[in-house]
Structure 1
Amino acid sequence: MTRRIAIIGGGITGLATAALLADRGDEVTVFEALDDVGGRAGSWEKDGFRFDTGPSWYLMPEVFDHFFELLGTTSREQLDLVRLDPAYRVYHEGEAEPFDVVSGRDAAVAAFEAREPGAGSKLATYLDSAGEIYDLAVSRFLYDPYVSLKGLAHPDVIRKLGTLLPLLLRPLSTHVEKQFSDPVLQQVLGYPAVFLGGSPYDAPSLYHLMSHLDLDDGVLYPRGGLVQVIRAIARLAEERGAVIRTGSRVERIITVGGTATGIRLADGTRIEADHVISTADMHHTETVLLEPELRSRTDAWWDKRVPSFGALLILLGVEGELPELEHHTLLFTKDWKANFDAIFGEDGAGTLPDPASLYVCRPSATDDDVAPAGHENLFVLVPMPADPGLGRGGVDGAGDAAIEAAADAVIAQIASWTGVDDLADRVRVRRTISPGDFAADFGSFRGGALGLAHTLGQSAMFRPGLRSKVDNLLYAGQTVLPGVGLPMCLISAELVVKLLDGDISTGRLPAPLASER
């Protein structure tokens, strides 16, 4: 029997869920509050510049491959993927020369050895461990809905307990510092915690597996930007019969006797559904879209959650070339711990680190279509406290004064550290986005940029699951299993399909999906 399914949110999770369920023959409608799909993975254009407004790293390519294969296609058919060389560049405070990180085992080992004698062989061992744990995570952890804990009793997991337990209990920073003494190398290996919305001083060292992705596998870029991933998935969903409605804000999940029966839009329209899937932040879903007695988590529970860092995003259209920057460039401060303490620690609550460790994406280094000829496209991300009260951004300096002043300081820092002294004078387009915007536009928990940070208490079986106490209502996206980032959102969509079919297994669905109808 065809199921009527209402999906709240047109970000990557909502679109991916729609594509998979429509491919199975369900009657699927996506309701997106904004005027375009993509959510945090959005796009913005002005004066010939086109900016991604969210994710900019294409990692875990096999997750994308598997998702597209479920739909009977491939990543290569849907995206024009190019490999970045170098993978990224690092500027360290006080050092004039940058450190280029080249992907591939041999190149990475050589780069580490040149920086710190003996670090090459240590990196090889480190990456062996990272690859092994990554393979275990994909096969046993990431696709597990954790409806039961039977998957943790699998022989593959039991055999690795002696390795896994220390990695779970030791912070990533400690794990790295015990093996490498050079501060830049420590930061290169600790930075993956930021991909997970957290700090290397709090993220379990199990997440050293992330270094397998950038140092062993390499970093790819979909020509046209990460928005091409969104467009491809939206296109596949609509080709399979899903309906995508933008400008359709959901105001309430309708329930009868503790069962979800549909949704009500802000204009009063009621939509009946056999199942409701909310890919909005779980906190927003529970505190705004549901009656208090139907919430799965209490206010006290949410008070103890750790959101991801907030983010100051700065989109810059710059006249002239910027060869000092690679496609991906990282700027690291000397006192990294103080930097993260300012973001997550109580003493630094509400303050933007100064100077700040930050990330700059220059897609125009690879892609001619994101900026006019003779110009550069820059996307700057500065982790900051998750606090909507810090203000909102704007276009061409029209944001709140504190946000624009912080952006000015960041632009000056980039100019000073990279040797582009006239950077500020060459800016032709500028937009800032801040925690206040994340809260207002996406209903983001405390204005966090990514969802819940991947601390030990918010990972795997300790992370909120997809099931609600309301029958026929499921959650998906980066505040629930399996976690933050585009690949995790694709997996979350697959977990929805599994749970709707009563499948609580720990593995991937077989591809192509249509054959399973």
Structure 2
Amino acid sequence: MVFSPSVLLFYLGFNKKIPNLLHHNFFFDTDLDENLKNVFALLPAEHRKGRDKVLGPQGSSSIGKTDAEQKDATIVRMLKEAVRDFTFYVSATSKTDSKAAYYPHSAPSSSSTSSTNHREAEALFVLIPTPYTLNDILSQCGQKCNGWFWTHLLDDVFRRMEQKLELPRGRLRQTLVYERHAGTKEFETGFNSYRGNAFGLANTLTQSLILKPSLESKVPNLVFAGHLTNPGPGVPPSLVSGVVSANLLDQKLKADIAVDPQSLSSSAWLVFFFRHIFLAMWAVSRYAWLFVSDELPETFLESCAWTLAKVFSSSDEAYYLDA
């Protein structure tokens, strides 16, 4: 499977307004198409790399350094390369909602009203698109390395914003009063997102519409919900997925599990027959492309067994394939 990109996020608060900034702002210095191509990185071979392969043999001139120092130097070099010339989006919510930012110490005197505090402060949301494979590097980055990465990244954001907005150098860092960040590691640990991706499966031809992973599990009376299945990624679709999955499970529990074809009428038998023929054709059309690919996933044989079990099994039989 090919997964969507991830993002690096900053939540920032300033005690002074930032001039020349709109509500929605998009910053990019290099070729945007090339940058987004690197962010999506849809080559399946790149997505199959495991964590242990990220820090493979690297050409290094650091003779005399310990293994730990060489590893840290390699990680830093890879992180710098991963976020080089990045594109980022800035949302200044306080530009259209004065109450979005509140900094109590910005009032010039005790007689000032809270509305003055709102007008003095600024709240920003910064989003940096990045390949989700960045998590493979950050997962091997220690606390010191991780702190350096986020500080370096925010300094680069401030430098480019000050350059584009024609602000004095260091203005943003001097007026910064609140900073919180989140990225691939936080998505993986906080939301159990696979390898820290942010938007689920990429919308490739073989992963779109009816070809998305099924809501129904191979385990009886088990259904899935979330952004990896239908209807798709995002908070609203994920919530809808929960409703759809609950309705599906309710129908499965209420329906008659056992269906004996010999007890069906002629018309009902035809419906039963063509329904399972359609199921078999759907499975063939879904997995036929794998025969010409470089690598068959482990789930292919399991999917074939599940399809055959759907067609031929009875209610009290279970089929397992030990691949």
Amino acid at match of 2:124: L
Q: How does 1:116-195 map to 2 (within 5 A)?
A: none
Match of 1:442 in 2: 191
C-alpha offsets along residues 332-378 of structure 1, whole Å, 9 cap, x if unaligned? 4441122123323369x964343222111111123333321211111
- Preserved CA contact (<8 Å) 1:319 1:426: yes
In the TM superposition, residue 464 of structure 1 has moved relative to its aligned partner by 1.0
C-alpha offsets along residues 154-193 of structure 1, whole Å, 9 cap, x if unaligned? xxxxxxxxxxxxxxxxxxxxxxxxxxxxxxxxxxxxxxxx
Name which of 146, 151, 174 aligns with 1:404. 151
1:460–1:433 Cα change, 3 Å: same
Partner Cα separation in structure 2 for residue 433 and residue 341 of structure 1: 23
Match of 1:474 in 2: 223
Match of 1:417 in 2: 164
C-alpha offsets along residues 108-163 of structure 1, whole Å, 9 cap, x if unaligned? xxxxxxxxxxxxxxxxxxxxxxxxxxxxxxxxxxxxxxxxxxxxxxxxxxxxxxxx
Name which of 57, 71, 85 aligns with 1:355. 85
In the TM superposition, residue 460 of structure 1 has moved relative to its aligned partner by 0.9
Amino acid at match of 1:451: G
Partner Cα separation in structure 1 for residue 218 and residue 151 of structure 2: 43
Name which of 318, 321, 326 aligns with 2:17. 321
**Which structure: greater strand fraction?**
1
1:490–1:437 Cα change, 3 Å: closer
- Preserved CA contact (<8 Å) 2:9 2:181: yes
- Preserved CA contact (<8 Å) 1:312 1:435: yes
1:404–1:457 Cα change, 3 Å: farther
In the TM superposition, residue 481 of structure 1 has moved relative to its aligned partner by 0.9
Match of 2:128 in 1: 382
Structure 2 counterpart SS, 1:404: helix
Q: Which runs of 5+ in 2 are unaligned?
A: 47-77, 103-116, 253-323
Match of 2:245 in 1: 496
Partner Cα separation in structure 1 for residue 147 and residue 228 of structure 2: 28
Structure 1 counterpart SS, 2:124: strand
Match of 1:113 in 2: none
1:472–1:426 Cα change, 3 Å: same
**Which structure: greater helix fraction?**
2
Residue 306 (structure 2) pairs with residue 306 (structure 1):
no
In the TM superposition, residue 325 of structure 1 has moved relative to its aligned partner by 2.4
Partner Cα separation in structure 1 for residue 180 and residue 8 of structure 2: 10
In the TM superposition, residue 315 of structure 1 has moved relative to its aligned partner by 1.3
Partner Cα separation in structure 2 for residue 433 and residue 317 of structure 1: 15
Match of 1:343 in 2: 39
Q: How does 1:215-254 map to 2 (within 5 A)?
A: none
- Preserved CA contact (<8 Å) 2:222 2:249: no
RMSD: 2.8
In the TM superposition, residue 380 of structure 1 has moved relative to its aligned partner by 0.4
In the TM superposition, residue 398 of structure 1 has moved relative to its aligned partner by 9.6
Match of 2:314 in 1: none
Greater relative contact order (CA < 8 Å, ≥ 6 in sequence) = 1
Identity %: 32
1:390–1:367 Cα change, 3 Å: farther
Amino acid at match of 2:22: E
TM-score normalised by L of structure 1 = 0.35
Partner Cα separation in structure 2 for residue 419 and residue 377 of structure 1: 19
Match of 1:366 in 2: 96
Partner Cα separation in structure 1 for residue 167 and residue 229 of structure 2: 41
Structure 2 counterpart SS, 1:429: strand
Partner Cα separation in structure 2 for residue 455 and residue 379 of structure 1: 29
More displaced 10-residue stretch of structure 1: 471-480 or 330-339: 330-339
Partner Cα separation in structure 1 for residue 149 and residue 209 of structure 2: 37
1:427–1:399 Cα change, 3 Å: farther
TM-score normalised by L of structure 2 = 0.54
In the TM superposition, residue 399 of structure 1 has moved relative to its aligned partner by 4.5
Partner Cα separation in structure 1 for residue 190 and residue 239 of structure 2: 21
- Preserved CA contact (<8 Å) 1:358 1:383: yes
Amino acid at match of 1:352: A
Give the structure with higher Rg (CA): 2
In the TM superposition, residue 379 of structure 1 has moved relative to its aligned partner by 0.9
Structure 1 counterpart SS, 2:232: coil
Amino acid at match of 1:469: K
